[in-house]
Amino acid sequence: MIYLNGEYMPIEEARIPVLDRGFIFGDGVYEFVPVFERVPFRLHEHFARLERSLAAVKIPNPFSEATFAAVIDKLVAAHPSANQGVYFHITRGVAPRDHSFPKGLTPTVFVMANPLTLPTQKQVDEGLAVAVREDIRWLRCDIKSTSLLGHCMLRTEATGEGCAEVVLVRDGFLTEASSSNVLVVKDGVVLCPPKDHLILPGISYDVILELLAVHRIAHEVRPVREAELRGAEEVWITSSTKDVLAITRMDGKPVGDGRPGPLFRRMRTLFSALKTPPEKPAHRGSPEHD
């Protein structure tokens, strides 16, 4: 079951007109909300980011936060997996092809839930291999735009070389990866690229920043030079589907000693604890009798 323009239906029945500007221009934005044990993670933060993306491209927000949450609940309840990813896709709507934004369109809204593919134990224990490439994307990477051709080209090149992700540098500075943020440990300090127009402000990145602050782990939010990335003791990627994972090979060379580092292991444990739902009260019999 999916949601399209206010209705729930099987995905096979979903139709959109070919003049939808999402199809013609990639004129739309998206959001991805991870759901663990049927509970959306950081729902408010995801809604706020969707609002910011929509406002940046001047598409009216079709959702209140309550409707946004209700659509997630309904789709999640209709699917068997406890862990799911809910994908929101909102385009400007349908209009004769013209580059300028037409006024008064009704946005097209599509939402689907899929089982969440979480990292394997091997990926956690051994880390990931990545390629490093020049960031060829546009200059508004803070908008979660559906126009992802640059991301797709870069990722495809990297996966063709047997890498799981592609880490991007622009003009000698680290930006992010094709679908994750990147942090670097250098001289024992966690270096976090600033949330400017060159990176997506990741919800998982913010979780890490909070954990670093709460646990008083040395960190700096500042531009990270490519040389610092390449000479790092540890490199991490963060995203809704990965939480935090270590990068252990970059362009075929080991990062640090080639194994996930101690700070990474600490962060991963702290992050996982945040996602665990609070302890249920002591068992008092089967749910039917409660």
**Site of interaction with ligand PDD (CB under 6 A):** 32, 176, 179-181, 200, 202-205, 238-241
Spacing of C-alpha 214 from chain mean position: 23
**What number of other Cβ atoms are within 10 A of residue 59's Cβ?**
21
**Shortest gap between Cβ of 45 and ligand PDD (angstroms)?**
8
**Shortest gap between Cβ of 90 and ligand PDD (angstroms)?**
15
Catalytic annotation on 144?
yes
**Shortest gap between Cβ of 11 and ligand PDD (angstroms)?**
18
Q: Name the residue nearer to ligand PDD (CB basis): 16 or 116.
A: 116
**Shortest gap between Cβ of 96 and ligand PDD (angstroms)?**
30
Q: Name the residue nearer to ligand PDD (CB basis): 197 or 253.
A: 197
Alpha-carbon span 244 to 246, nearest angstrom: 7
Alpha-carbon span 266 to 260, nearest angstrom: 11
Please provide residue 252's backbone torsions phi and psi, each rounded to the nearest 5 degrees: 80, -5
Amino acid identity of residue 248, one-letter, is: T
The 8 Å CB, 24+ separation contacts for 242-245 are: 242/119, 242/180, 242/204, 243/119, 243/204, 243/268, 243/271, 243/272, 243/275, 244/204, 244/208, 244/268, 244/271, 245/119, 245/123, 245/124, 245/127, 245/128
Q: Name the residue nearer to ligand PDD (CB basis): 59 or 203.
A: 203
**What number of other Cβ atoms are within 10 A of residue 259's Cβ?**
16
Q: Name the residue nearer to ligand PDD (CB basis): 187 or 196.
A: 196
**Shortest gap between Cβ of 168 and ligand PDD (angstroms)?**
9
Q: Which of 74, 103, 122, 144 is catalytic?
A: 144
Q: Name the residue nearer to ligand PDD (CB basis): 240 or 248.
A: 240
C-alpha dist (Å) from residue 130 to 52, 103, 165, 194, 249: 30, 43, 5, 21, 6
The sign of the torsion formed by the CA atoms of 132, 137, 140, 145 equals negative
Q: Name the residue nearer to ligand PDD (CB basis): 3 or 236.
A: 236
**Shortest gap between Cβ of 95 and ligand PDD (angstroms)?**
26
Query: Annotated active-site positions, please?
Result: 144
